[in-house]
Structure 1
Amino acid sequence: MLQRFFIFCSGADTHILESCSNGERNKYVGIGATVFFTAVMAFISSGYALFTVFDNIYTSIFFGLIWGLLIFNLDRYIVSTIKKRDSFKSELWQATPRIVLAMIIAIVISKPLELKIFEKEIDQVLLEEKNAMTLNNKQQLALQYTPKIESLDQEIAQLKNEIAEKEAATNALYDTYISEAEGTAGTGLLGKGPVYKEKREKHDTYLAELKELKTTNSEKIAAVEAEIAALNADYNTAVGNSQPIIDGFDGLMARINALGKLPWLPSFFIFLLFLAIETAPIIAKLLVPKGEYEYKFEEQESVVATWVTQKVTQRKLLLGTDASLNEKVYSDIKDEEELYRYKKEKAEELLRLQANSFYNTQVKGL
């Protein structure tokens, strides 16, 4: 049962192989087994590749099975259409497009398996890229908020500077009227005279203005700080909203790009392995000399070709004979006077009918 299945996978004619030796059948069993297991590897690799896209095992298995059947059909077609010729060059020429197609299939099959084999290394590359993307994202978002926040910080500093300048001027007036009272400065007279009162009143005025300025500027500073807090909250929200996109940067294309950043030699050897598996049936059919199956298959083809050629030749002869007979028959008819008179009478009758019809039509129109 298993032997018949692998012979079916090889694309060989089972009826012809049944009349061949065991060695001939075993050759095509090996070719069919290679085709089958290549399709199995295609199913596994495409299933994994699709799982990285859909994140759903059932969807991946379904489409992976379709892809595996497609590869199986292509490989079976490629192997079954290679025919042994008397010249190796002609065999190689007809196998060249099939080898190119096998190389393409090998690349498609091997790439998803490479992604799985080097998964840990790819994850490390993706982690570094995600970290870099996170930093770049924060810097780009900061460019939208930092200038405004810096402007607001300068506004706060300016308001605080106004308070500090007013406070320094008030403290200077305090020192002035105290020194006047002690007689250490100003008039030099000890006691609270008119000059002291004047300086004291000026200080009290500045002190009241300072208190009012502190109240006003504190309210402004609180409003500006609230605006800064809102901008920081917006910035954090923007960073938080964009971070899941960065965290999800591990799709199929991202992993293929990450694989390309790893050393190429291990990946190349895996590709060579699948290329060898994929082209093995084709190479085997090219290198193995003509066997019993090929001779019997060629004999069957020649029987059909001879039969078709014979039928076509007979049809051509029949057509030529029939044309000659028709030509002779119509030539003899042309010389008969009775047929000529009969056709002449009918033609005259037709002309009379046409003339009468034309006359009646003209009369009705008057």
Structure 2
Amino acid sequence: MLRSIKRTFFWLSGAGTETLELCPNWEQRKYVAFGATVLVPCAFAFIACAYALSTLTDKASVIYPVALVWAFIILTIDRALLAGYRPFLSWTRKLSQFALRLCVAILMGLTIAHPLVLLLFRDTITSVIEEDRAQEIEEVRSVFATNKETVRGEINRLDASVADQREKWTETFQARFIIQDREDASDALPGLTAEQQQELDASIAEATQPFTERLDVVQQQADELSPTYAKLQTELGYWQTEYERELNGQRSGLVGEGPRARSIKADQLEPRRTEAQRIGALLEHLSAEKATLQTQIREAEKNAIATFETRLAEIDAANRAEEERVAALKRQVEEDQATAFVTQQNALRDTIKQQIDSLLAEQELAKQELAAVAAEERTRIEALQNEPRRDVLTQTLALHELFEQGAEGGKFAFYTYCILTALFMLVDTIPLIVKFFTKPGPYDRLLDRDEISFDAEHQAFKESHARYMEKLADGNLIAVTRNKRLEHALVDGVEHSRAAREFLDSLIAMERSFAEQMKLEQEANTNSGPEKIEVLDAMKKRFYEDLHRRMEVFFTTQHA
């Protein structure tokens, strides 16, 4: 288990497991640490990508797989940067190599650092975004408030016009000219004496007294109720506007009929609307009663005059006949006037009714326009309130706006952002920095030795292949190149033959040198005794056995 974990960290560090296992334990522990440093930016990359995606969607099935893929990409890039670094280079090439990889690491670090900084500043950024949202909502409300005030002004103008036309409609039912109001009773019956006139006035006053007193009471009540009714209408209009503003969220910020709206409706609107209806009905009743009383007064006056005329007829027949003639003429005139009045008033009422209907239609259109404006305002505000505004771009703009707010606070936020960004970039580039400033160890030397050997072998192969191609061009074997397998076999045979020849030449040269040296030794030790001669013979035998073994090994390997 520990061996598998160690090999996993070897792989993360970009090192070869087989080569590292040839190194000491302390070298292996160093590369385990390198592999661990690769996991740190990988973990930060997962967190940063997950947060960035969470600003766009809430689906875990999208966020975590994509974050895992991004973390694997960062891991692969960091591993490739570590695997491609070589310490045994000149300082110029080493710095250029490190600078290129550092630029890539910094760019990748920025992609990790910026979302993480946004995550750390999330509460502050959210407050800035919400302030901007509230400001936009307030601007929308101010624009729509102006539009609504314009529409309400039009509705009030139409209400006034309708009330004016309805007053004219009411006046068409009054026929004051039929019964003329008289300043004194002498106008009714000309030729009366002073005593008769006083008696007639007393009779009229007595007959009309109940109705006159009641008319005074009704008029007083109407005069008292009219200011109250006007005040209620004004208050009702004001609280209706406040109730609509509460429904639209302009006062408390809550759209819909909330506790404040219900309180306004129950405590202000409903009592005033009920009281206004009651007082309006009472005023209408008093107006009707007033008209009735005026009619009754005129009838009582007429009856009193008729009674007095009857009494005068017994006194003066001539005056009675004149009075009857005048009364008949008056009735004829009143009938003619009534006929003309009815015709005129009917036509006038038709005209007024048409005007009222037209004004009511315009008023209905204005109310519909007001409702449409209010609906559009709610739609716009709900759209602004429902906007998530969690994407990275919006948060970045809010963070930039935070930098510009206030001399000290903005600078502190900017410096903090720079420090945190540099910290996260350092965390992401730490594997490459640690690798760069770490002293080359046994693994680096083994790897450098393998690369040097491979480069040397590659160079030897290129030189050998060049010589082969030159000989091939001078010979008659050019057709062999049309068959790749035959060409490879021929190249291999030629190279092996050349190697065998050089090997044999080296062995022969070595054997000649050895034979000459042995001859000199034997001549020098001719008189040294048998022991020295036996040693020289043993060395000679051992040399030729070793030479024979080398030849067997070489040619056996070549054959294989």
Name the TM-score class by shorter chain: 0.7 to 0.9
Which of 355, 368, 393 in structure 2 is aligned with 1:230? 368
Alignment of 1:110 onto 2:110: no
| 1:6–1:36 Cα contact (<8 Å) kept | no
TM alignment of 1:265-284, pairs within 5 A:
265-284=415-434
Which of 318, 321, 324 in structure 1 is aligned with 2:468? 318
TM alignment of 1:297-336, pairs within 5 A:
297-326=447-476
Sort the Cα spacing of 1:152 and 1:315 in 2 relative to 1 into closer, same or farther, 3 A.
Answer: same
2:442 aligns with 292
1:319 positional shift: 0.9
Sort the Cα spacing of 1:112 and 1:191 in 2 relative to 1 into closer, same or farther, 3 A.
Answer: farther
Partner Cα separation in structure 1 for residue 92 and residue 428 of structure 2: 21
Partner Cα separation in structure 1 for residue 397 and residue 379 of structure 2: 25
Cα distance per residue 1:169-209 (max 9 Å; x no partner)? 99xx97x99997327xxxxx955999x98xx9899999878
1:8 positional shift: 1.0
Q: Structure 1, unaligned stretches of length 5 or more?
A: 184-188, 328-366
Which of 386, 389, 394 in structure 2 is aligned with 1:250? 389
Aligned to 2:53, the other structure's residue is in SS state helix
Sort the Cα spacing of 1:318 and 1:38 in 2 relative to 1 into closer, same or farther, 3 A.
Answer: same
Partner Cα separation in structure 2 for residue 63 and residue 190 of structure 1: 107
Sort the Cα spacing of 1:93 and 1:220 in 2 relative to 1 into closer, same or farther, 3 A.
Answer: same
Letter matched to residue 378 of structure 2: G
Partner Cα separation in structure 1 for residue 467 and residue 147 of structure 2: 90
TM alignment of 1:1-366, pairs within 5 A:
1-139=4-142, 154-158=157-161, 160=163, 181-182=182-183, 215-246=353-384, 247-252=386-391, 253-262=393-402, 263-326=413-476
Aligned to 2:86, the other structure's residue is in SS state coil
Partner Cα separation in structure 2 for residue 280 and residue 63 of structure 1: 24
Cα distance per residue 1:226-276 (max 9 Å; x no partner)? 212222222233233334432224231222222222332222222111111
Sort the Cα spacing of 1:161 and 1:106 in 2 relative to 1 into closer, same or farther, 3 A.
Answer: farther
| 2:19–2:443 Cα contact (<8 Å) kept | yes
1:364 aligns with none
Partner Cα separation in structure 2 for residue 147 and residue 168 of structure 1: 30
Partner Cα separation in structure 1 for residue 475 and residue 398 of structure 2: 80
Partner Cα separation in structure 1 for residue 66 and residue 382 of structure 2: 28
1:36 positional shift: 1.2
Q: TM-score, normalised by structure 2?
A: 0.50
Sort the Cα spacing of 1:56 and 1:122 in 2 relative to 1 into closer, same or farther, 3 A.
Answer: same
Sort the Cα spacing of 1:207 and 1:127 in 2 relative to 1 into closer, same or farther, 3 A.
Answer: farther
Sort the Cα spacing of 1:14 and 1:220 in 2 relative to 1 into closer, same or farther, 3 A.
Answer: same
Partner Cα separation in structure 1 for residue 113 and residue 125 of structure 2: 16
| 2:154–2:366 Cα contact (<8 Å) kept | no
| 2:9–2:31 Cα contact (<8 Å) kept | yes
Partner Cα separation in structure 2 for residue 96 and residue 144 of structure 1: 62
Q: Structure 2, unaligned stretches of length 5 or more?
A: 190-325, 403-412, 478-560
1:51 positional shift: 1.8
| 2:158–2:363 Cα contact (<8 Å) kept | no
> How many aligned residue pairs are there?
319
Partner Cα separation in structure 2 for residue 135 and residue 208 of structure 1: 53
| 1:180–1:190 Cα contact (<8 Å) kept | no
| 2:144–2:377 Cα contact (<8 Å) kept | yes
| 1:11–1:80 Cα contact (<8 Å) kept | yes
Partner Cα separation in structure 1 for residue 364 and residue 103 of structure 2: 68
Sort the Cα spacing of 1:190 and 1:128 in 2 relative to 1 into closer, same or farther, 3 A.
Answer: farther
Letter matched to residue 183 of structure 2: E
Letter matched to residue 473 of structure 2: A
Letter matched to residue 135 of structure 2: A
Letter matched to residue 387 of structure 2: G
Whichever of the two has the greater Rg, that structure is: 2
Sort the Cα spacing of 1:278 and 1:66 in 2 relative to 1 into closer, same or farther, 3 A.
Answer: same
Letter matched to residue 254 of structure 1: T
1:363 aligns with none
Structure 1 vs Structure 2: percent identity of aligned residues?
22
Cα distance per residue 1:309-365 (max 9 Å; x no partner)? 1111111001111222349xxxxxxxxxxxxxxxxxxxxxxxxxxxxxxxxxxxxxx
1:224 positional shift: 2.2
2:545 aligns with none
Q: TM-score, normalised by structure 1?
A: 0.73
Partner Cα separation in structure 1 for residue 103 and residue 365 of structure 2: 65
| 1:142–1:235 Cα contact (<8 Å) kept | no
Aligned to 1:322, the other structure's residue is in SS state helix
Letter matched to residue 416 of structure 2: P
Aligned to 1:54, the other structure's residue is in SS state coil
Aligned to 2:56, the other structure's residue is in SS state helix
Partner Cα separation in structure 2 for residue 44 and residue 302 of structure 1: 42
Partner Cα separation in structure 2 for residue 210 and residue 267 of structure 1: 80
| 2:109–2:424 Cα contact (<8 Å) kept | yes
Sort the Cα spacing of 1:107 and 1:234 in 2 relative to 1 into closer, same or farther, 3 A.
Answer: same
Aligned to 2:449, the other structure's residue is in SS state helix
